[in-house]
Amino acid sequence: TANTDKFRPVYHHTPLYGWMNDANGLVYKDGEYHLYFQYNPYGSKWGNMHWGHSVSRDLVHWEHLPPAIACDTLGHIFSGSSVVDKENVAGYGAGSILAFYTSASDKNGQNQCLAFSKDNGRTFTKYEKNPILCPSDGLKDFRDPKVFRYEPEDKWVMIVSADKEMRFYDSKNLKDWNYMSSFGEGYGVQPCQFECPDMVELPIDGEINRKKWALIVNVNPGCYFGGSATQYFTGNFDGTKFICDNQPNVTKWLDWGKDHYATVCFSNTSDRTVAIPWMSNWQYCNIVPTKQFRSANALPRELGLYTQDGELYLSAAPVAETKTLRKENKEIPSFTVSNDYHIDSLLTDNNGAYELALEITTGKAEIMGFSLFNDKGEKVDIYFNLPEKRLVMDRTKSGIVDFGKNSVPHEIEAHDRRKTTSINYIDDFALATWAPIKKENKYALDIFIDKCSVEIFLNGGKIAMTNLVFPSEPYNRMCFYSKGGTFNVDSFNAYRLGL
């Protein structure tokens, strides 16, 4: 397919044509990362849900394969997960890939189904006795099965999002499922629809002998800045139920931007945990100004657990493989920002696909940051507001923004780490997002720009912020500024990125 889409990312995964939402069935096997995804092959808006399929050996170069599971007379093939059945408990042969998805239609509702692949995930056969799990109480929203192995009891666990909670089931043969428990009612940002669960056990601060579970709960709406976002809970899992470490009103966010949703992790990756976020928001995903395709996935991210002030949080850093994308490097010598400091040409022949890696020392500045802009004056502002302890990204004037306007302001009730606030947003797209930060002497920023997206990673992924932008030409200039005192840019590298 010829690429006539000026906003098509260079190094992010996108479907060749058509519509994509959630990553599905992420599984690693025999050196291949399988990325299935909610896919409409017939148009660039949501509909006719299939599982599209791409495969990669390094998480950055993706090969497009034909859709793996097509919708049928029972309905759409909604989101779900995959596992490798090493011990052949399901009877399709050791090493077969089993996919769990939701069959969804107005007529039949939402039911969990199974399909198996004996050819390394290329083609799937639907189980003849589908569905394998229906809502016992006739619940309308009952979907996105996540299946994982629970070693201590030599069994499998399935988590299904069930309206405003997650339901847990277990099974020995991956076909017969028993209800165990529910979690979530009243937890986190409220009220909102739970979707796309995942649950991973991770070492705390990299110490392999101390582990905790993180339950990932995608919520729509519920994003602090409107629309869809990914929250998580940390706690324990005893094989039957999840016990949260925190009070129900505590909300932890995996990403602080507006374009990060339906994030789930690969199965079968042994000691690494890699998540793929869908890089859009249900508020406007169907009307963003791309044409041949709609939606990209954000960079695959390695998840970890870290402690801060006695609390556990998830970090999300771009996978190490991302470094192989670096082409030429422009190294900018260190400088101090007191008055505006301009960089007039960031990269020669900038095609809009690059990375900015900066280390800064705070000094006495209260506000410190920069605008990233183009000759049309379209810009993104990224700055620290130290008195308010915030890292902010403002895309109000980033380029095409008008598709996000609402005629009526809508109020969003949301929580941050410290307090509950409600904000009126009249515009779903032209706004700033921010993350709470600790005041520190030094910060490291790693920022990935790819045609229509900006992903910010602070201090190795302790904070991640993902936002779309649609500039009419690449941002190739910068202006650093400070208020209240100076700050220092100790190191600054701009890398052109390419495949």
**What residue ranges bind ligand FRU (CB under 6 A)?**
21-22, 38, 49, 78-79, 102, 143-144, 195-196, 262
Q: Which residues pair with 52 in a beta bridge?
A: 37
Tokens of 279: 């890089």
What is the closest distance, in whole angstroms, from the C-beta atom of residue 261 to ligand FRU in the complex?
Answer: 6
Q: Which residues pair with 182 in a beta bridge?
A: 167
Closer to ligand FRU by Cβ: residue 191 or 239? 191
Tokens of 440: 């520190």
3-state percent breakdown (helix, strand, coil) of the chain, nearest 5: 5, 55, 40
Closer to ligand FRU by Cβ: residue 259 or 381? 259
What is the closest distance, in whole angstroms, from the C-beta atom of residue 196 to ligand FRU in the complex?
Answer: 6
Burial class of residue 217 in the structure, from the number of CB atoms within 10 Å of its CB (0-12 exposed, 13-18 middle, 19+ buried): buried
Closer to ligand FRU by Cβ: residue 280 or 371? 280
- Identify whether 340 is a catalytic site residue: no
What is the closest distance, in whole angstroms, from the C-beta atom of residue 161 to ligand FRU in the complex?
Answer: 7
Closer to ligand FRU by Cβ: residue 161 or 433? 161
C-alpha 299/C-alpha 378 separation (Å) is: 24
C-alpha 400/C-alpha 398 separation (Å) is: 7
C-alpha 166/C-alpha 181 separation (Å) is: 9
Q: What is the DSSP string of 359-419?
A: EEE-TT-SEEEEEEE-TT--EEEEEEETTTTEEEEE-TTSS--GGGEEEEEEEEEEE-SS-
Residue 452 phi/psi, 5-degree rounding, is -125, 20
What is the closest distance, in whole angstroms, from the C-beta atom of residue 181 to ligand FRU in the complex?
Answer: 21
What is the closest distance, in whole angstroms, from the C-beta atom of residue 394 to ligand FRU in the complex?
Answer: 26
- Amino acid (one-letter) located at 172: K
What is the closest distance, in whole angstroms, from the C-beta atom of residue 451 to ligand FRU in the complex?
Answer: 23
| 13 to 35, 295, 382: CA distances (angstroms) | 10, 9, 25
Half-sphere exposure (Cβ direction) of 168: Cα atoms closer than 13 Å: 21
Closer to ligand FRU by Cβ: residue 219 or 391? 219
- In 3D, which of 38, 33, 116, 34 has the Cα closest to residue 79? 38
Q: Which 3-state string (H, E, C) describes 40-54?
A: ECCCCCCCCCEEEEE
| 340 to 35, 466, 478, 479: CA distances (angstroms) | 44, 26, 10, 6
What is the closest distance, in whole angstroms, from the C-beta atom of residue 144 to ligand FRU in the complex?
Answer: 5
Closer to ligand FRU by Cβ: residue 280 or 322? 280
Catalytic residue among 22, 85, 198, 394: 22
Task: Look at the alpha carbons of 209, 212, 218, 221 in this order and tell me if their dihedral is positive or negative.
Answer: negative
Matching residue, tokens 């044409």: 291
What is the closest distance, in whole angstroms, from the C-beta atom of residue 76 to ligand FRU in the complex?
Answer: 7
Q: Which residues pair with 466 in a beta bridge?
A: 455
Beta-carbon count within 10 A of 402 CB? 10
Closer to ligand FRU by Cβ: residue 144 or 381? 144
Tokens of 227: 């629309």
What is the closest distance, in whole angstroms, from the C-beta atom of residue 17 to ligand FRU in the complex?
Answer: 18
- In 3D, which of 53, 218, 81, 68 has the Cα closest to residue 148? 81
Please name the residue ranges forming H helices in 9-93.
Answer: none
- Amino acid (one-letter) located at 267: S
For 44-164, strand residue ranges (E) read: 50-56, 63-69, 76-85, 96-105, 109-117, 125-126, 142-150, 155-162
Matching residue, tokens 């992790």: 265
Closer to ligand FRU by Cβ: residue 102 or 466? 102
Closer to ligand FRU by Cβ: residue 107 or 418? 107
Closer to ligand FRU by Cβ: residue 78 or 168? 78
What is the closest distance, in whole angstroms, from the C-beta atom of residue 328 to ligand FRU in the complex?
Answer: 37
Q: Could you give the residue numbers annotated as active site? A: 22
